[in-house]
Amino acid sequence: MEHLLQKVDLLYPEMVGWRRYLHQHPELSYQETETAAYVARHLREWGLDVETGVGGGGVVGRLRGGAEGPTIALRADMDALPIQDEKTCEFASKVKGVMHACGHDAHTATLLGVAKIMAEHREEWKGNMVFLFQHAEELSPGGAHAMIEQGALEGVDFVYGIHLWTPFPVGTVYSKPGAMMAAADEFEITIKGKGGHGGLPHETIDSIAVASHLVVNLQTIVSRSVDPTQPCVVSVGSFHSGTGFNVIAEKAVLIGTVRTFDPELRMQVKERLETYVEQTCRMFGADHAVEYKLGYPPVVNDAGEVERFYRAGASVAPVQTSPLIMAGEDFAYYLHHRKGCFMFVGAGNPELGITHPHHHPKFDIDESSMAIAAKLFISMAADCQNGWNADKC
């Protein structure tokens, strides 16, 4: 395996080039046409069997090894976010209002590098490799479920995913057994009052006042209705209402998210939120409507595969046990169907000024994290295929 890891270092400049090209040409969820074509073109050049349009916009590359062994899937996501890139660098996004603010460009470039190296050494490999380039991770219902339904995991024994993560320092890798990332649900609350003149509030039902009370009330779901030992987040991310300084708005719309790990608590918070909306609006005499969408389930790692991470990852970088992460990931769906684990690779570096959080207009990564991620993918797959005859991996 050591010679494969050395190949990563040799390929690293090319991986950086792929990443920077993709960073300059981002595409939103469900619109990754050119990104998918870019990926498919490279995979075909390296002799992989390639299927495009999987689940709507995904790309699957398949590589047959030189001997019998497990079939291992590795996944990268491809979509960008509706954020204006505010970085000042030569590879900043060229698409107005769209940028890779979560590292998916680097995920794609990393997995391309792994695919190229494994294609060059396919005869050494025991078993088969499946490279999942997934569309629409950022936008529910996401691309993972649709790709699985269309056969992306057919014949696959194990599946691994990596996220470059700037809150963790470059040079470290993280995972944990069991639940690691939260379920990510969405809600939209519409409050309808009675509009009118700003100087005659007694003739109105002020939707902004109602919505403001509701924003405060919703915070007590976590602080007063949830066991404090249970991780839970309720966040209102958008508040839209009103048209003028002297007009009391008839309608207000709140959009937000709920994050949980426990399935029972997940449904309790949903019911509690709906009750808070109903009773707050009743208090002011306003009407309401609630749309509540259950999003991605929690990411739950297989304990045995995390043991593999602790073993195989140690050959790449210092391994750490990840804290619970309240962000969501549709990689959860792959783990519902196959054994595997999701891993974080540290990508933050204060010395380079890389400190901005994910989904920030100035988000960036320490690109050396891509080499670590590629080596982690290869190490996990090699450990799996080397143990196949002894214990069926």
Largest pairwise CA distance in the chain: 81
CA–CA dist 321, 370 (Å, integer): 20
Active site residue 79: yes
Angle between helical axes of 2-24 and 33-45 (0-180°, round to 10): 150
Per-residue b or e along 46-84, where b marks 16 or more CB atoms closer than 10 Å to that residue's CB: bebebbbebbebbbbbbbebeeebbbbbbbbbbbbbebe
Phi, psi of 319 (to 5 degrees): -90, 140
If you count them, how many residues does the chain have? 393
Active site residue 383: no
Q: Is the peptide bond before 169 cis (omega within 30 degrees of 0)?
A: no
Distances (CA, A) of 95 to 84, 87, 100, 162: 8, 13, 10, 26
CA–CA dist 290, 393 (Å, integer): 47
CA–CA dist 170, 155 (Å, integer): 34
* Catalytic-labelled residue, pool 27, 32, 79, 85: 79
CA–CA dist 166, 134 (Å, integer): 21
67-77 and 158-169 as β-strands: parallel, antiparallel, unpaired? parallel
* Catalytic-labelled residue, pool 32, 85, 137, 305: 137
No. of helices (H) and no. of strands (E), the chain: 10, 16
DSSP helix/strand/coil, 324:
coil
Count Cβ atoms within 10 A of the Cβ of residue 208 and give its class: 0-12 exposed, 13-18 middle, 19 or more buried.
middle
Of 281, 222, 233, 279, nearest to 256 by C-alpha is 233
Which residues are catalytic, by number? Answer: 79, 137
